[in-house]
Each structure stands twice: as structure tokens, then as C-alpha cells.
């Protein structure tokens, strides 16, 4: 069976600090939509109105991220790289075994001063601010449904914020972050599926479509677990000690 192409997409890790604690906006999707019931970051596929993706992919992805954030959260951001509002954070590609695939760039951005998140729209039924650790704990106890890339992005935010000691310092320090494509390889039976990430020592030997990373991988990836059990409670391993 032919592997479906991955659609270019963009999502925003919208961030704020409350009493020194990092919070990120998550939105729950309606049960009637794809990924129904999951909590996700504001985002979606690139639209033709965002520009010519083949000619200027970086610019188009930023426009898509800004548009989706405004449509789904009611928060206006600036797509111009010179403004410094959108920081390239990660890039995740859906494995070929999935029916629908996305090549998603995640951008981190601080909630602009005076901005407020709008109510639910047709693509979300609930929006809430979460500390990354709290969202991960809720997912581990099956009180919240999160996809693998969402979990790893949340853990990355938690660890990186702690490393830099504050949101503003984090966004400045991470401007030089190396964003690399992450294409998980899936192993195991469907009821016990495990996602293996490119920084895992066994990744290169596993079957299926994959994208190898340079050695060593970026430091922010080496702080993350290299495997994740999918679809089970309590399935997020502790961060690797490196």
C-alpha cells in the first residue's frame, strides 16, 4: 500500500507565565472531528491563502501558524521573523502507517500583553491553560488524551523552561535552537504500539520509513525519552538523565 504524503501544517505553543510557572494553551477537539477528544495546540494544515508553499515554505508555515492561532484561539501574532514573536520549536512528521499524515512545524510564542484567548469555535470545544507537568500527569492517569508529539513538546517545554529559569530568557536563549524533522518508527502490535524516535540507539535498525539525525542529536532532544508507549495510561517515561 502506498504511503500517503504528509500535509504541511503549523501549530503554536502559546505560552505565558503565572507566578513564575510556565503555562501553555491546550484545546480539546470535538469528538466528531479527526483526533476527536484529544487536547492539542492551536494549529492546522497550510491553506492556499497562506502563500506558495513550494516557493517559500518557511514564510508560508509562519503565516499558517499565525492564521490558525487567530482562528482557534483569537490571539493575533506576527508572522514576520524580524518581529521575533514566533520561535521555531520542533518539527514532527506522522509515521507512514497512519491514514492521515502531517508534517507539522511547532512554533513557540509568548501570549502578547493584553491579549486574551477567545471562546471555543467549531474546531475546539474547550480551551485551557496548563502547566506542562500537570498536563502530562493528567495524560498518564488517563484523565486527558494527548498524542505523542504533544506529550514530547510539553516535556520539552517543561525541561527547557527549568533550564533557563523563565519564559523570556527561554525564548531568547532558544532562538538558535536547531529544528530537525522527527519521524517516529512504530513497533509492536497495535494494542501495544511503541513510538521510537530518531535519537534512540535502535532507531536506524528498525523497519519502516525513517529520517536519521546527525550525531549527536541536538541537546534538547537528548533530554527527552527516545521511546513512548502509545494509547496506555502511565506511558510517559521520565526524562533521560544526560
Topology at the third CATH level for domain 7-182: Nucleoside Triphosphate Pyrophosphohydrolase (3.90.79)
Q: How confident is the model at residue 169 (pLDDT cuts 50, 70, 90)?
A: very high
Helix (H) or strand (E) holding 24: strand 21-28
Distance separating alpha carbons of residues 46 and 137, to the nearest angstrom:
31
Mean pLDDT of 49-78: 97
Strands 87-93, 181-182: pairing is parallel
Q: Where are the domains of the chain?
A: 7-182
Give the pLDDT of residue 236. 37
Specify the range with the lowest mean pLDDT, choosing from 6-20, 59-73, 91-105.
Answer: 91-105
Q: How confident is the model at residue 100 (pLDDT cuts 50, 70, 90)?
A: confident
Give the pLDDT of residue 33. 66
Helix (H) or strand (E) holding 128: strand 126-130
Q: pLDDT (tens digit, 9 = 90+) per residue, 110-120?
A: 999 999 998 66
Which residue, chain included where needed, has cell 487567530?
A: 70
Residue 96 is placed in which grid cell?
507512514
Residue 170 is placed in which grid cell?
527561554
Distance separating alpha carbons of residues 151 and 139, to the nearest angstrom:
9
Give the pLDDT of residue 237. 38
Q: How confident is the model at residue 190 (pLDDT cuts 50, 70, 90)?
A: confident
CB atoms within 10 A of CB 209: 12
Q: Cβ contacts of residue 75 below 8 Å, gap of 6+?
A: 14, 42, 69, 111, 112, 115, 116, 117, 118
Give the pLDDT of residue 238. 37
Give the pLDDT of residue 32. 72
Q: pLDDT (tens digit, 9 = 90+) per residue, 31-54?
A: 776 667 899 999 999 999 999 999
Distance separating alpha carbons of residues 87 and 89, to the nearest angstrom:
6
The pLDDT of residue 98 is above 70: no
Distance separating alpha carbons of residues 216 and 223, to the nearest angstrom:
12
The pLDDT of residue 107 is above 80: yes
Give the pLDDT of residue 140. 93
Side-by-side strand order, sheet with 194-196: 185-187, 194-196, 227-229
Distance separating alpha carbons of residues 43 and 231, to the nearest angstrom:
22
Q: What is the mean pLDDT of the chain?
A: 90
Give the pLDDT of residue 208. 87
Q: Cβ contacts of residue 200 below 8 Å, gap of 6+?
A: 226, 227
Q: pLDDT (tens digit, 9 = 90+) per residue, 125-145?
A: 899 999 999 999 999 999 999
Q: How confident is the model at residue 234 (pLDDT cuts 50, 70, 90)?
A: very low
Amino acid at each position: 500500500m502506498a504511503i500517503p504524503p504528509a500535509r504541511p501544517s503549523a501549530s503554536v505553543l502559546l505560552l505565558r507565565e503565572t507566578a513564575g510557572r510556565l503555562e501553555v494553551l491546550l484545546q480539546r477537539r470535538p469528538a466528531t472531528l479527526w483526533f476527536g477528544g484529544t487536547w492539542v495546540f492551536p494549529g492546522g494544515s497550510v491553506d492556499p491563502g497562506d502563500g506558495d508553499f513550494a516557493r517559500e515554505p518557511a514564510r508560508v508555515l509562519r503565516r499558517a501558524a499565525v492564521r490558525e492561532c487567530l482562528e482557534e484561539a483569537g490571539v493575533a501574532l506576527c508572522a514576520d521573523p524580524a518581529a521575533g514573536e514566533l520561535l521555531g520549536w520542533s518539527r514532527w512528521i506522522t509515521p507512514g502507517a497512519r491514514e492521515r499524515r502531517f508534517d507539522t512545524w511547532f512554533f513557540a510564542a509568548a501570549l502578547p500583553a493584553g491579549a486574551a484567548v477567545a471562546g471555543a469555535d467549531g474546531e475546539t470545544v474547550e480551551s485551557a491553560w496548563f502547566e506542562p507537568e500537570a498536563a502530562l500527569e493528567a495524560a498518564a492517569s488517563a484523565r486527558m488524551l494527548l498524542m505523542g508529539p504533544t506529550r514530547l513538546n510539553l516535556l520539552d517545554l517543561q525541561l527547557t523552561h527549568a533550564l533557563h529559569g523563565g519564559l523570556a530568557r527561554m525564548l531568547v536563549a532558544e532562538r538558535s535552537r536547531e529544528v530537525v524533522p522527527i519521524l517516529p518508527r512504530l513497533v509492536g502490535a497495535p494494542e501495544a504500539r511503541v513510538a521510537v524516535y530518531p535519537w534512540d540507539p535502535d532507531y536506524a535498525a528498525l523497519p519502516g520509513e525513517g529520517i536519521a539525525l546527525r550525531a549527536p542529536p541536538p541537546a534538547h532532544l537528548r533530554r527527552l525519552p527516545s521511546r513512548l508507549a502509545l494509547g496506555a495510561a502511565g506511558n510517559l517515561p521520565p526524562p533521560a538523565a544526560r
